[in-house]
Amino acid sequence: MKGDIGVIGLAVMGQNLILNMNDKGFKVVAFNRTTSKVDEFLNGAAKGTNIIGAHSLQELVDKLEKPRKIMLMVRAGSVVDEFIAQLVPYLEEGDIIIDGGNSNYPDTNRRCEELAAKGLRFIGAGVSGGEEGARHGPSIMPGGHFSSWEHVKPIFQAISAKTPDGEPCCDWVGDNGAGHFVKMVHNGIEYGDMQLICEAYQFMKDGLGMSYDEMHEAFKAWKKTELNSYLIDISTDILAFKDTDGTPLVEKILDTAGQKGTGKWTGINALDMGIPLTLISESVFARCVSSFKEQRVAASKLFTHTAEKISGDRAEWLEALRLSLLASKIISYTQGFMLMHEASKTFNWNLNYGNTALLWREGCIIRSVFLGNIRDAYINNPQLTWLAEDEYFRNILQNALPSWRKVVAKSVEAAIPMPCMTAAITFLDGYTSARLPANLLQAQRDYFGAHTYERTDKPRGEFFHTNWTGRGGDTASSTYQV
Ligand code: 6PG
């Protein structure tokens, strides 16, 4: 009997996905460029399973049922192109290549086009959940050539995480790079959620002067609220984790954040598409600032500020902080969904937002109860412009607002940088302002460059220029939007 699917790449994610597929009754053919890894895998984690090894691409292809389904679990970027180029000569019309890495969606768009021209089918699938997820149920976000979906659907939906109602956290996302775009936004949101939690941690530690045990208890209590999520869970564990000397390990970890690029891509796309993705962008910049460790240490000596301890009732501050985190999260997801909406329009992807929330409900890094509420909101109104149009989220924001303002204002007074919580409240204030100071901005543009402006007492679309100084001419420059 031939294999149902081939997997190339036996790093931890690849191995775990293969074991997961095997558990669900699929026959998997495993290949790795360094072929000794295939034998190590077969004699190690895969021993006693139905997993088959292949020591060349020819062997891999020969051992697969047609149309062949071959999943690449290799590093995003040129390695994916290299494997595709090597595989193509062995494949036949209708065969399917799946890229399960964190690829940048324009690459997926391009690969779809190139492979279609060769009569082959391509899927770019975002896979989230880390090693645990890959082994026991990831969230999977496939997009690409739709005709290939029916062939991989039974495998992907079987291995994916399930919601509490038993629905698979895997469904078709859209054409071409749609799956990888949605995974990119997932990662951007992941960056935002992580930074928000870090801001709450610093407020507790430096502002409220809490010990690690106290912070652990506070986070543990948050798990029982609307904040219940995987990232809060692991942060709760991390705060309690002690090094061999019995002190908190996290305190000994160097405060410089790494990043592999997906958050940055989310921010770049937001700028390109004109979407104010302020919170996620700030979370990327917060990682950049953190990476300037030596500069920060030097600057801290030049410009000393000591975070002032925050006085007042601790329990009250903690509740205010919890509400600030929750409200900021609503803004972050609102901005992320705005970005997906714009991309969907631009690329004709017809994204289903309720479904996207469902894909993220379990299995992935941002999994949370909160995503179930987002799903409900989009089921009630698929056309939501922003989450506060939904009563549940509007009530949370309204209820949180006084505490949220207090926390953000206090963080500025106490010299605790909270770029994401601040960005979130600033966005809310701007987005809910019927009038902003952009009238002055338009006047400035017209003053120095004759860029024209529209008037409040004239219909939209009519543009005016004023000779502000009497020295400039009456000729306006052309009006266009980027
Ligand atoms: C996931 C994660 C995964 C990876 C991130 C890490 O969904 O399982 O997002 O894809 O851990 O890419 O990203 P950074 O290294 O940029 O933090």
pLDDT tens figures, 333-351: 999 999 999 999 999 999 9
Three-state DSSP state, 278 = helix
Look up residue 160 and give its two tokens.
């994916």
Q: Enumerate residues 6+ apart whose C-beta is below 8 A from 92.
A: 66, 67, 68
The label of the residue with tokens 């607002």 reads 401
The pLDDT of residue 305 is 78
Question: Could you tell me if 359 and 141 are in contact, meaning their C-beta atoms sit under 8 angstroms apart?
Answer: yes
Contacts 24+ apart (CB under 8 A), 214-223: 215/239, 216/240, 218/318, 222/322
- Ligand 1: does its nearest atom lie under 6 Å from the Cβ of 12? no
Nearest-CA residue for atom 1 of ligand 1: 128
How many other CB atoms sit within 10 Å of the CB of residue 345? 12
Domain 183-431: top CATH class: mainly alpha
Find the Cα–Cα–Cα–Cα dihedral 314, 369, 248, 412, rounded to 10°: -50
- Name the CATH architecture for the domain at 437-482: Up-down Bundle (1.20)
Distance 234 CA to ligand 1 centre (A): 15
- Ligand 1: does its nearest atom lie under 6 Å from the Cβ of 51? no
Is the peptide bond preceding residue 67 cis, with omega within 30 degrees of 0?
Answer: yes
Catalogue the active-site residues. Answer: 183, 190
End-to-end C-alpha distance for the chain, whole angstroms: 57
Residue by residue, pLDDT tens for the chain (482 residues) are 899 999 999 999 999 999 999 999 999 999 999 999 999 999 999 999 999 999 999 999 999 999 999 999 999 999 999 999 999 999 999 999 999 999 999 999 999 999 999 999 999 999 999 999 999 999 999 999 999 999 999 999 999 999 999 999 999 999 999 999 999 999 999 999 999 999 999 999 999 999 999 999 999 999 999 999 999 999 999 999 999 999 999 999 999 999 999 999 999 999 999 999 999 999 999 999 999 999 999 999 999 877 678 999 999 999 999 999 999 999 999 999 999 999 999 999 999 999 999 999 999 999 999 999 999 999 999 999 999 999 999 999 999 999 999 999 999 999 999 999 999 999 999 999 999 999 999 999 999 999 999 999 999 999 999 999 998 777 888 777 77
- Ligand 1: does its nearest atom lie under 6 Å from the Cβ of 187? yes
Mutate to test the pocket of ligand 1, among 283, 365, 366 (most ligand atoms within 8 A of CB): 365
Give the ligand 1 atom nearest the CA of 259: 16
Give the ligand 1 atom nearest the CA of 102: 10
Nearest-CA residue for atom 9 of ligand 1: 187
Helix then strand count (H, E) for the chain reads 19, 8
Q: Which of 83, 107, 96 is nearest to 151 (CA)?
A: 96
The pLDDT of residue 473 is 77
Give the ligand 1 atom nearest the CA of 287: 17
pTM for the predicted model, two decimal places = 0.96
Nearest-CA residue for atom 10 of ligand 1: 128
- Ligand 1: does its nearest atom lie under 6 Å from the Cβ of 155? no
pLDDT tens per residue across span 354-400: 999 999 999 999 999 999 999 999 999 999 999 999 999 999 999 99
5-176 and 183-431 share one fold: no
Tell me: domain 5-176, CATH 3.40.50.720, correct? yes
> Half-sphere exposure (CA, 13 Å, Cβ side) for 273?
22
The pLDDT of residue 336 is 98
Mutate to test the pocket of ligand 1, among 187, 283, 290 (most ligand atoms within 8 A of CB): 187
- Ligand 1: does its nearest atom lie under 6 Å from the Cβ of 138? no
The pLDDT of residue 307 is 64
Nearest-CA residue for atom 17 of ligand 1: 259
- Ligand 1: does its nearest atom lie under 6 Å from the Cβ of 365? yes
- Ligand 1: does its nearest atom lie under 6 Å from the Cβ of 188? no
Distance 139 CA to ligand 1 centre (A): 13
Domain boundaries, the chain: 5-176, 183-431, 437-482
Distance 92 CA to ligand 1 centre (A): 34
Q: DSSP letter at 129?
A: S
- Ligand 1: does its nearest atom lie under 6 Å from the Cβ of 48? no
- Ligand 1: does its nearest atom lie under 6 Å from the Cβ of 258? yes
Annotate 213-232 with b (16+ C-beta within 10 A) or e (fewer).
ebbbbbbeebeeebbebbbb
Q: Which of 42, 51, 2 is nearest to 24 (CA)?
A: 51
- Ligand 1: does its nearest atom lie under 6 Å from the Cβ of 260? yes
